[in-house]
Structure 1
Amino acid sequence: MALANENYLKTPEIYCFDEIEKRVNAFKVLHPNAKVIRLGVGDVSRPLPNEVVQAMHKAVDEMSVLDSFRGYSPPQGYDFLIEKILKEYRSIGVFLDKDSIFVNDGAKSDIGNIGHVLGRDNIIAISDPVYPVYENATIMSGRAGVLTDDQKWSNVVYLRCTEDTGFVPELPTEKVDVIYLCNPNNPTGTVMKKPELKKWVDYAIEHQSIIVYDGAYQAYINEPDVPRSIYEIKGAKKVAIEIRSYSKTAGFTGLRCGYSVFPQELLVYTKYGEEVPLIKLWSRRNANYTNGVSYIVQRGAEAVYSRKGKAEVHELVDYYLTNASLLRNELLSIGFEVYGGTNSPYVWFKTAYNQSSWKFFQQLLYENHIVGTPGVVFGSLGEGYMRFTGFSSREDTLLAIERLRRGV
């Protein structure tokens, strides 16, 4: 008799964004001619930068010629891409070893897979509200414990991230082993500046903890006192894994490519207290579980770092940031309490008349034909909030603003 991994049964049967899609489809059945504007799910809408497309076309041609054909990628990724990544870090004063970079098929994969090389008894800390994958990965790996009466998991430490804290997570009052941080934050769009991030690095050093640092939105940072990398903080290489993605930076949501950084200095411990470099375990996992990201996609990612590629990516990021800024300013002008939307493509705001998140979602959908993301899907402390994204087209963003002006 084959037994199931019952931890998978503990996660919601319907992923939160699938539930949104289900409700939107129900609306479309009743209103087949309505133009629905999607400001909810964080998928991009603009085409790939031309420099990326040209690089991938060239790579396809190479694959058709015997002398330039490529098979499996090296498990860590091709040197041509890794060298560009290292150079980009050096431009902000961060110096990394070549062996510390691991190219992946997007940030989401490594966020979930990191649990494979960490002990089952680790206490996990996540923000509330937060990107759902952090909690779901903890549940499915068997680390979450049991669900309590207040719908919290017994072995997870929830870090309050509310209006009172400026939507910056509070340091835990107890010892935790693994901490998930996202900066700029998804869903709130808020950021931690260097002094705030230093507190987390100092905490992790003191408690021999690991920070899983999700930097998927670092390209949207435009203020000098907000770090683009956790490694800008002294001592961070001893305690932090940094995960980045090309999805929201260069429109790779359909291509799938990113990378993770595992510094040589980052240690974990056996039950007898022996030190083990985490990179040693991650390298073994990679060698056994992946054949790498395709050559064609990695050539596309490499093109992001060319002079022309950087200009095109900057234009793309600026397009989405402008959308977010337009939404932020409109929401503020009609009286909403708003966060994010400046160093992030996400705009986080309180619902009208203190309605529940799902009730306000329904109101926006049926009265304004606008789809947002209910804050409660990101955690209990997200109740009473909504998330908009700047990833729609400019035309749809302006149309949504016009509809909001007519009243919510």
Structure 2
Amino acid sequence: MSLMNNLSTSMISSSSSAFLAPVSFNSRTQSVTVSLKSINIVKCVATPQEQQTAAYKTNVSRNANIAKLQAGYLFPEVARRRVAHLVKYPNAQVISLGIGDTTEPIPDVITSAMAKRSHGLSTLEGYSGYGAEQGEKALRAALASTFYGNLGIEEDDIFVSDGAKCDISRLQVVFGSNVTMAVQDPSYPAYVDSSVIMGQTGQFQKDVEKYANIEYMRCTPENGFFPDLSTVARTDIIFFCSPNNPTGAAATRDQLTRLVQFAKDNGSIIVYDSAYALYISDDKPRSIFEIPGAKEVAIETASFSKYAGFTGVRLGWTVVPKQLLFSDGFPVAKDFNRIVCTCFNGASNISQAGGLACLSPEGLEAMQEVIGFYKENTKIIVETFNSLGFKVYGGQNAPYVWVHFPGRSSWDVFSEILEKTHIVTTPGSGFGPGGEGFIRVSAFGHRENVLEACRRFKQLYN
């Protein structure tokens, strides 16, 4: 059993360009290959029927909110189908451009700082135990000066964490079950699923593929992937991601100004996910706090995951300005601080050493180089689908390409591509009903694998 579990885990968590062939792992331009032939799969054998007894059950009821969730979380479901495909085609060279997991090595200037901090823990002078739950002072100060230097955000407005996704759930705990929420459609599924788990929603409505009591803000090519706010109902919380995952669209200054005013007019709080902000290459805002008045209505989450390859290292941050108040005048930051102190012991001190190195002049330059590499991948993917006559969105300011297959089920397209090309993508409907008819192609991958994937796309759709 343990061997089978380890095998499944290694498949699911493998890099987004894992191949099946002789084992090799090399530099940025090399492919990654894994062989199943040398692995013995241990099968579980059922206990004979006469020896089985009825399973013992406790008297504890299942959380009814979790029971509302539909199937599995999107990315584990994609991984499950990938594993099933490998079983069916054990010799296939599978290229994963689905889950947004980084593939390029973390720059040495960053890992050296983490190694130094790690080795320091073995000395009396360098050892440290629990740190501040909100993050180390030096890192908070560096984040404030690097990303919010002229925006009025101070270091004590910043909470360092183990990632933006984790903070999204912590924020949901702060808001509780009695709030209403709005979300871009399509958008990162963690917003909706965490809302369901918290009990903020009604049941899933299969006829429209939506949960009751969630305001789905439709984002389409026709509206520039920014919702028509005149048709959006008032909610307490508005989740907004820019550059957007999955569409890759980045909101303009005018659009974010309208969003902030919409929140003010309705007394709402914006949770602004800026996890891909450093991918923006034009004049679009990288932070919601570039918009006047945003500190009174917005929270911002961010992460080192897609900047420095920290998807496994785990380090992010959330900004909760002092000016953001609940209806009774109580600061939101104080409640978030209470949740952080209760539910979290602070980010790893080794990860934080890496984060501080990321923000050094050398670290920032190294991160930009890695981001530039992924953006070149994106350009290759966009040009490929354009050459095949597809309508393609995103790619300019995000590491995702949003490809339109009008009139087709996105899961059917996902299956067709996987079956005929051995490439894993992500079906658009997994990001909400507005994603139906699209697939998301991730640019996270080794260059050789991206080029090979594009060759296969051309072979399939030419």
TM-score w.r.t. the length of structure 1 is 0.96
For residue 378 of structure 1, what is the aligned residue in structure 2? 431
Measure how far apart 1:112 and its partner are: 1.3
RMSD across aligned positions (CA): 1.3
Give the letter for the 1:404 counterpart.
F
Distance in 1 (alpha carbons) for counterparts of 2:128 and 2:83 = 43
Q: Which moved more, 1:98-107 or 1:18-27?
A: 18-27
Q: CA deviation digits over 1:132-157, x for unaligned, max 9?
A: 10000100000012333423222111
Residue number among 420, 436, 449 corresponding to 1:367 in the alignment = 420
Give the letter for the 1:99 counterpart.
D
For residue 125 of structure 2, what is the aligned residue in structure 1? 67
Residue number among 262, 286, 291 corresponding to 2:345 in the alignment = 291
CA contact (8 A) 2:117 2:126 kept: no
**Count, aligned residues:** 401
Distance in 2 (alpha carbons) for counterparts of 1:29 and 1:68 = 48
Give the letter for the 1:315 counterpart.
E
Look up the SS of the partner of 2:61 in the other structure.
coil
Q: CA deviation digits over 1:48-95, x for unaligned, max 9?
A: 11111100111012111112211011011001111110111245x322
For residue 401 of structure 1, what is the aligned residue in structure 2? 454
Give the letter for the 1:359 counterpart.
D
Distance in 1 (alpha carbons) for counterparts of 2:208 and 2:451 = 40
Measure how far apart 1:27 and its partner are: 1.8
Distance in 2 (alpha carbons) for counterparts of 1:242 and 1:26 = 38
For residue 100 of structure 1, what is the aligned residue in structure 2? 157
Look up the SS of the partner of 1:252 in the other structure.
coil
Distance in 2 (alpha carbons) for counterparts of 1:406 and 1:2 = 54
For residue 20 of structure 1, what is the aligned residue in structure 2? 78
Look up the SS of the partner of 1:125 in the other structure.
strand
Measure how far apart 1:311 and its partner are: 1.2
CA contact (8 A) 1:128 1:159 kept: yes
Look up the SS of the partner of 2:255 in the other structure.
helix
Specify the structure having the higher radius of gyration (Cα). 2
Give the letter for the 2:339 counterpart.
R
1:165 and 2:219 are equivalent in the alignment: no
Measure how far apart 1:127 and its partner are: 1.1
Instruction: Write the mapping of 1:24-63 to structure 2, written as runs, cut at 5 A.
Output: 24-63=82-121
Distance in 1 (alpha carbons) for counterparts of 2:165 and 2:253 = 25
Look up the SS of the partner of 2:211 in the other structure.
coil
Distance in 2 (alpha carbons) for counterparts of 1:165 and 1:368 = 33
Q: Which moved more, 1:183-192 or 1:66-75?
A: 66-75
Measure how far apart 1:212 and its partner are: 0.3
Residue number among 360, 378, 385 corresponding to 1:306 in the alignment = 360
For residue 358 of structure 1, what is the aligned residue in structure 2? 411
Q: CA deviation digits over 1:82-137, x for unaligned, max 9?
A: 1110111245x322122110001000001111011114222100111111100001
Distance in 1 (alpha carbons) for counterparts of 2:119 and 2:203 = 53
Give the letter for the 1:304 counterpart.
C
Distance in 2 (alpha carbons) for counterparts of 1:382 and 1:98 = 38
For residue 245 of structure 1, what is the aligned residue in structure 2? 303
For residue 268 of structure 1, what is the aligned residue in structure 2? 326
CA contact (8 A) 2:215 2:232 kept: no
Residue number among 189, 192, 208 corresponding to 1:135 in the alignment = 192
1:254 and 2:312 are equivalent in the alignment: yes
CA contact (8 A) 1:201 1:235 kept: yes
TM-score w.r.t. the length of structure 2 is 0.85
Residue number among 181, 189, 205 corresponding to 2:264 in the alignment = 205
1:390 and 2:449 are equivalent in the alignment: no
For residue 278 of structure 2, what is the aligned residue in structure 1? 219
Q: CA deviation digits over 1:233-260, x for unaligned, max 9?
A: 0000000000000000110000110000
Higher relative contact order (CA 8 A, sep 6+): 1
CA contact (8 A) 1:107 1:243 kept: yes
Distance in 2 (alpha carbons) for counterparts of 1:287 and 1:384 = 43
For residue 182 of structure 1, what is the aligned residue in structure 2? 241
CA contact (8 A) 2:242 2:274 kept: yes
Distance in 2 (alpha carbons) for counterparts of 1:128 and 1:151 = 11
Give the letter for the 1:337 counterpart.
K
CA contact (8 A) 2:140 2:156 kept: no
CA contact (8 A) 1:89 1:96 kept: no
Look up the SS of the partner of 2:92 in the other structure.
coil
Residue number among 322, 329, 333 corresponding to 2:387 in the alignment = 333
Distance in 2 (alpha carbons) for counterparts of 1:13 and 1:365 = 20
Give the letter for the 1:79 counterpart.
K
For residue 11 of structure 1, what is the aligned residue in structure 2? 69
For residue 252 of structure 2, what is the aligned residue in structure 1? 193
Distance in 1 (alpha carbons) for counterparts of 2:214 and 2:389 = 36
Measure how far apart 1:355 and its partner are: 2.2
Distance in 1 (alpha carbons) for counterparts of 2:232 and 2:339 = 33
Give the letter for the 1:385 counterpart.
F
Distance in 1 (alpha carbons) for counterparts of 2:417 and 2:252 = 33
Runs (5+) with no aligned partner, structure 1: none
Give the letter for the 1:208 counterpart.
G
Q: CA deviation digits over 1:213-234, x for unaligned, max 9?
A: 000000100102x101000000
CA contact (8 A) 2:208 2:433 kept: no
CA contact (8 A) 1:89 1:95 kept: no
Give the letter for the 1:47 counterpart.
P
Distance in 1 (alpha carbons) for counterparts of 2:71 and 2:419 = 25
CA contact (8 A) 2:410 2:439 kept: yes
Look up the SS of the partner of 1:47 in the other structure.
coil
Distance in 1 (alpha carbons) for counterparts of 2:371 and 2:392 = 21
CA contact (8 A) 2:170 2:340 kept: no
Distance in 1 (alpha carbons) for counterparts of 2:305 and 2:67 = 29
CA contact (8 A) 1:376 1:385 kept: yes
